[in-house]
Amino acid sequence: MRYCIFTPGCNWYRVLNSDIITMKMKIILLLGLISLSLLNIQAQTVPDIAGSEVTKEDAQLSLDFHNKVRADVGTFALNWSAKLAKFAQQWADHLASEGCILQHRPNSGVWATIYGENIFWGSGSDYTVMDATESWYSEIKKYTHGVQTNDNWYKTGHYTQMVWRNTTHVGIGVARCKNGGMIIVANYDPPGNYMGETAY
């Protein structure tokens, strides 16, 4: 099939073969996919004010690690959110003041959760944000890709939240408990771990 396209300003017709048009469309599509891939691996930068007690350097290490493991499964890179970091810091401080208990935010009340959440607790050492991040990631050893159910999410829910396909932002807070332990909280927006869906 051939198309005749009138060229403005000329008194003649240019004839284009449909195969050429199809090839150009394929090239444009390929270039678009390459651009998206480059955008996905582009380094995301933590702002100078991270929004919590986490240092900019520690926040950057965790963000880079998150984005590496997300790239491994083909999900887009996360951005750091000072708003989420502040939210995470508030819960970390609360848990530290309550005796360093390891507990997620409740579903209702003044401390109600509105984001995805990962929590880490450790004692006997100065645990860092990267220690928590790598601990959450270690659940990949128990992970089998598939639909999230009430039976399988518990063992790998920290990992799946890290790589959840619809999540775009993360923020982390850290607090030291009176007994020397460390509480580290990460919040994610939009949240992940929806039953009946896959992480990626």
Q: What is the DSSP secondary-structure string of 45-85?
A: ---SS-SSSS-HHHHHHHHHHHHHHHHHHTPPPPEE-HHHH
Average pLDDT score over residue span 153-163: 96
pLDDT confidence bin for 133, thresholds 50/70/90: very high
Q: What is the pLDDT of residue 91?
A: 98
Q: How many CB atoms are closer than 10 A to CB 5? A: 9
Q: Which residues contact 123 (CB under 8 A, 6 or more apart)?
A: 100, 177, 179, 180, 181, 182
pLDDT tens-place string over residues 174-191? 999 998 899 999 999 999
pLDDT tens-place string over residues 35-47? 444 445 456 999 9
pLDDT tens-place string over residues 95-109? 999 988 899 999 999
Q: Is the pLDDT of residue 161 over 90?
A: yes
Both tokens assigned to 191: 């949240």
According to DSSP, the β-strands at 182-189 and 79-80 are unpaired
φ/ψ region of 193 (left if φ > 0, alpha if ψ in -120 to 50, else beta) reads left
Is the dihedral angle over the CA atoms 74, 79, 83, 86 positive or is it negative? positive
The distance from CA 80 to its chain's CA centroid, rounded to whole angstroms, is: 9
Q: Which residue has the higher pLDDT, 33 or 77?
A: 77
Q: What is the pLDDT of residue 26?
A: 56
Residue type, 51: G
* Cα→Cα distances 200→20, 27, 141, 160, Å: 36, 27, 17, 9
User: What is residue 197's DSSP assignment?
Assistant: S
Please report, to the nearest 10 degrees, the dihedral formed by the alpha carbons of residues 51, 46, 107, 134 taken in order: -120
How far is it, in rounded angstroms, from Cα 88 to Cα 198? 25
Put simply, whether the predicted model's pTM sits higher than 0.85 gets the answer no
3-state secondary structure of 140: helix
Q: Is the pLDDT of residue 75 over 50?
A: yes
pLDDT, averaged across the chain: 85
How far is it, in rounded angstroms, from Cα 172 to Cα 188? 9
- Report phi then psi at 148, rounded to 5: -70, 130
Q: Which residue has the higher pLDDT, 89 or 20?
A: 89
Q: What is the pLDDT of residue 125?
A: 83
pLDDT confidence bin for 124, thresholds 50/70/90: confident
Q: What is the pLDDT of residue 38?
A: 46
